[in-house]
Amino acid sequence: MDILSPRRSAKSSVGDPTRNLSVGSWINARRLIAHGTTLALCLWLAYAWNVWTPGLRDRAGNLKGTDFLHFYTLGALASAHDGVDLYDMNAQAVVAARLVPQAAGIRYLPLYPPQVSILLAPFAHLSYGWALAAWWSWSTAIYSACCYAIWRVCPALRAHGRLVAILAIGFPAFFHLIAWGQTSALALTCFTAIYFSLRSQRDFLAGLALGCLIFKPQLALAAAIVFACLGMWKLLGGAAIAAAVELWAGVLYYGIVPLQRWIAALKNVPSTLPFLEPRLYQTHSLRAFWSLLLPWSMASVTLYFLSAVIALVFTIAFWKPQPAPEFLPLRFSVLLFATVLVAPHLTVYDLVILAPAFLLVADWLAAHPISDSTLPSAGWLAIFLYFAYILPLVGPFARWTHVQLSVIAMAGCVYFIWKMGCETLSAQDSLIMKATE
């Protein structure tokens, strides 16, 4: 059975009504299992070989867990109730070298709000190796729970649990989440909670989940703009409350000074971007796309702004009609892709927030029998979805090509989800008109 390619209707045997959909006919369950299994084995066996070394350095000489050292250090500062050094890069480097001697000389740009360090404090009570293992386990458990929760509400994928599990394990964004030791699993939790809250028509709860993204505010930008344009003030009110409560937790723990320094650090982000993104080819957003493609900063910023507006316009246009609840999976998927595209800073591990979009769109494609005259865009959507999944792996080639192909694939997903939604609404209107004749 084809999972990501549209299923043919009973009329497909007459003539060639799937002519415009044949572009996606090669994407089927058997091939996806083969591709996913190969990808998962290659990624994880290579990573296991790389980190299977004595000590805390891998075979490439990098510290195991990479960015987790920064979170480990923040946790240690929280345990010591030291809010003064939360935004002192040099002081943190000294603390990190004292905690993990193999990390001497490594520095990180501190940009997380104060309350994040409180969450990380329990890990600092373990040795770095055990703390990293616990962090990996925690991130994997969160990612697995979110994928499982979404899969459970995808009826067309229910019988294909093995395929979904294989693709979830081989998802390049999940691989990078673990390899970098990052916090994006928490962002995935927020977006999963937003989806289920919207699904149960609890806008205020969805807003609370959105507000929790204040620890990665760039990931809340697109959603905040879309919901504001839609006039969903109850949701935005919940977001404001959650963000305020989360930030206030840091104030209660440290006092007001660390929060003020975090705000000052955010204001200085434009000047510190070279330090924040030392490997621009590992970033996957419209800003990174234009920055890689064009050497002129003014031109790249202008095109980023214009393309971000276009992505938001498509997203808002798809949400604005307020169609039946059955369209929520597509609408939320468009929002997730727009979130990634519009974010001013988004590294490869943050793409893990797209896991619900892949599942929801795949379920829609598998569940809706179509013909050439109803959803001609579905086949193209299947192809762009496939490449949006796989292309982050070739991001490093952008160092030489200066073209981040994953961004093109994700932009294609936004367009074809919107177009397929419009085609579905048009087809439903036609059926209603015929029924009333």
**Structural domain boundaries of the chain?**
47-436
Please check the confidence at residue 61 and state whether its pLDDT lies above 50.
Answer: yes
By three-state DSSP, how is residue 63 classified?
strand
- 157 pLDDT band (50/70/90 cuts)? very high
Taking residue 71's Cβ as centre, other Cβ atoms within 10 Å add up to: 24
- Determine whether 79 is exposed, middle or buried from the number of CB atoms within 10 Å of its CB (0-12, 13-18, 19+): middle
Contacts of residue 269, Cβ cutoff 8 Å, sequence gap at least 6: 111, 276, 345
CB hemisphere CA count around 356 (13 angstroms): 28
* C-alpha dihedral (161, 164, 166, 170), degrees to nearest 10: -160
Please check the confidence at residue 7 and state whether its pLDDT lies above 60.
Answer: no
CA nearest to 340, candidates 157, 205, 171, 216: 216
Please tell me what DSSP assigns to residue 14.
S
Distance from C-alpha of 427 to C-alpha of 437, rounded to nearest angstrom: 16
Please check the confidence at residue 21 and state whether its pLDDT lies above 60.
Answer: no
Look up tokens 């202008």; give the residue. Answer: 302
Look up tokens 């799937």; give the residue. Answer: 18
**Which pLDDT does position 103 carry in this prediction?**
87
Taking residue 415's Cβ as centre, other Cβ atoms within 10 Å add up to: 19
- 435 pLDDT band (50/70/90 cuts)? low
In the chain, the amino acid numbered 300 is S
- 428 pLDDT band (50/70/90 cuts)? low
Distance from C-alpha of 411 to C-alpha of 387, rounded to nearest angstrom: 11
With 0.85 as the threshold, say if the pTM is over it. Answer: yes
CA nearest to 262, candidates 275, 250, 244, 274: 250
DSSP letters, 248-275, are: HHHHHHH-SHHHHHHHHHHHTHHHHHHH
Bridge partners (DSSP) listed for residue 178 = none
Distance from C-alpha of 383 to C-alpha of 21, rounded to nearest angstrom: 10
Tens of pLDDT, residues 253-295: 999 999 999 999 998 888 777 778 878 899 999 999 999 999 8
Chain CA centroid to CA 285, Å = 11
Please check the confidence at residue 346 and state whether its pLDDT lies above 60.
Answer: yes
- Choice between 270 and 177, residue whose per-residue pLDDT is larger: 177
- 62 pLDDT band (50/70/90 cuts)? very high
Phi-psi region of 81 (alpha: psi -120 to 50; beta: other; left: phi over 0): left
The alpha helices in 121-199, defined as continuous H runs, are: 128-152, 161-170, 172-180, 184-199
By three-state DSSP, how is residue 57 classified?
strand
Please check the confidence at residue 150 and state whether its pLDDT lies above 90.
Answer: yes
Phi-psi region of 212 (alpha: psi -120 to 50; beta: other; left: phi over 0): alpha
- Choice between 60 and 150, residue whose per-residue pLDDT is larger: 150
First CA to last CA across the chain, in angstroms?
36
- 18 pLDDT band (50/70/90 cuts)? very low
Contacts of residue 316, Cβ cutoff 8 Å, sequence gap at least 6: 226, 229, 230
For the segment 231-251, the average pLDDT, to the nearest whole number, is 97
Distance from C-alpha of 321 to C-alpha of 85, rounded to nearest angstrom: 49
Please state, for a pLDDT cut of 90, what percent of the chain lies above it. Answer: 76
Please check the confidence at residue 427 and state whether its pLDDT lies above 70.
Answer: no
Look up tokens 């962090």; give the residue. Answer: 135
Contacts of residue 419, Cβ cutoff 8 Å, sequence gap at least 6: 377
Residue 145, both tokens? 């729970």
For the segment 402-409, the average pLDDT, to the nearest whole number, is 96
- 436 pLDDT band (50/70/90 cuts)? low
Contacts of residue 262, Cβ cutoff 8 Å, sequence gap at least 6: 86, 87, 111, 112, 113, 114
Lowest model confidence (mean pLDDT) among 2-11, 62-71, 110-119, 293-302: 2-11
**Which pLDDT does position 186 carry in this prediction?**
97
Distance from C-alpha of 406 to C-alpha of 411, rounded to nearest angstrom: 9
For the segment 381-386, the average pLDDT, to the nearest whole number, is 93
Are 146 and 192 contacting, i.e. CB atoms less than 8 angstroms apart? yes
- Choice between 246 and 367, residue whose per-residue pLDDT is larger: 246
What mean pLDDT value characterizes the chain?
88
Residue 262, both tokens? 């975090």
Are 407 and 341 contacting, i.e. CB atoms less than 8 angstroms apart? yes
**Which pLDDT does position 136 carry in this prediction?**
97
Chain CA centroid to CA 317, Å = 22
Look up tokens 């990931």; give the residue. Answer: 219
